[in-house]
Structures are given as C-alpha cells and as structure tokens.
Copies of this chain bind each other. A is one copy, B any other.
Amino acid sequence: MSEDPGPTLSERAPYLKPDDAARALARRLLGESRHAALATVTMPDGQPLATRVALSTLPSGDVVLLLSDLSEHSRALASHPRASLLVGHTAPGDGLRQPRLTLRGHVVRLVPGADEARARARYLARLPEAALYADFADFACYSLTIVDGLLNAGFARAHRLDRADLCRDPSPEMEARESAIIRHMNEDHPDSLSRIIASQRTTDQTNWRIATLDPLGFEALSDTGDLVRIDFAQAVVEPEGYRHAFVRLVKEARTKQARAKP
C-alpha cells in the first residue's frame, strides 16, 4: 500500500477549466450585485461569521466595502483581515442550480487619502443610498483584494478562478481619465449608453448612467436602481482605448438592432 494520501478533495473535485464565458459570468455576477454575503472569522476561536454587506468595485476589479466599526464583521476583520464574498441572486426554484461566485481575499481598511477617496466615490456611485450614512464617524472604507474565486455556474458546473481571471490593473494614466470618460458618456452620449445596454439585456429601463469604469468594462445604474455590468470586447490597455471600446460597443449594438428589425 502506498503512503500517498492521494489527491486532496479539491484536486479530485470536477472543476472545469475557466473559459471566456465563465470569466464573463463571474465578472457579471460581481458587477451586478449590490449586496453580498461576507464571511469573516472571529479570532482566536476561529468562529466563522456570515453577514450581509453592500459592495462596489475598484478599477482593478477588486471589491470595496463600507463597514461600520460597530459591526461584528469589522471587529473580526480588525484581528484577522481575510474574507470571502458570495454574490449571485437566488430566483424562485432550486438555488443550487443558479449561478453564484465565491471570492476569497485579503481585506485592508483604507486610511484617508487619494485611494480612500476614490474607493469611497466608487462605492457611492454604485450605491447612492449609502450617502445617508457614509460620512458617519463609525463608517470606514475597506478594499478586498481578490486572491481567487470559485464560480458555480449550476449543478456540477464549477470553475476555479485565479485573480487574473477577474482582475486587470489599469495604468495610472488610465485611472486618471476614468472620471472624465464616465462624465462624457453620461452627459454627451446617454442614447448610445442606452443602446448598448438594450442590445445586451432584456430591460425596460432607458435612463442609465455609468457608475464605475474599469479596463474590462463598466457598471451602469438605471434611475430605478437596476445595475448592469457590460464587458468591453477586449481589455483596454491605454487611456485612448476607452473611446475605441465604447465606439465598438455602440457599433455592435447598432448591427444587432438592425438585424433584429423585420
């Protein structure tokens, strides 16, 4: 008999290799979630804690949270800064057949400064209702840097994801342009934005505003609070690339709409 214990359970688990569709589904699950379940651990006893949080995304694709110092999860994170997030809505029916994404990562409480201000702005852009309490003294911004993820696209359709499947760091020049691009699209091209979203989603919403932008796509909020994530056809790698990426999405939307007409 061999002493080799054999593959671990994870190695035995029938994970599928992530493909572009799995990566896009994972980004969409995160990008279209206003809320998530947060798993933290209370130390030293190692007791897990599952709580509800609201979330937004950073330019890198990582996650930003706004937590109260009075909450149990903040206390847990203060002594053990690791967390996991579960995103994905459950519709009526068997929730285990419905897609969801588990992210695992490291959490950092952001100190006031440029990074914190940007994270806070992205949080409020996606969750405007948080403006009511975001400035309370006991609330602080946290970043969750994604280490890896598990995408469950339905029963027995599990993918293990690396950080690179979900995140893409923009250059400082790209980040510096983000606000101007968002403002330009929202103020000067609302019809193009609507057209892009209508070509990719079944929705009766027409008033959309881009809330957050990143090298892989954007998240937009309707005036009734619907949230959509749209990926670019390919990752943007330099500031001028954003314009090309939007032009391409609009062209594809026009082509799709023209084909759909009788």
How far in angstroms is the closest Cβ of chain B from A89? 7
Is A23 at the interface (CB under 8 A from chain B)? no
Is A35 at the interface (CB under 8 A from chain B)? yes
Let me know if B41 and A46 touch, CB within 8 A.
Answer: yes
Contacts known (A9-B74, A10-B75); A50 close to B54, Cβ less than 8 A:
no
Which 7 pairs, one residue from A and one from B, show the smallest C-beta to C-beta distance? A37-B37, A39-B39, A39-B50, A50-B86, A35-B95, A39-B48, A50-B84
Is A254 at the interface (CB under 8 A from chain B)? no
How far in angstroms is the closest Cβ of chain B from A83? 6
Interface-located stretch among A64-72, A117-125, A192-200: A64-72
Is A135 at the interface (CB under 8 A from chain B)? no
Q: How far is the CA of A70 from the CA of B160 in the complex (A)?
A: 13
How far in angstroms is the closest Cβ of chain B from A158? 8
- Nearest-neighbor residue (CB-CB) of A78 within chain B: B9
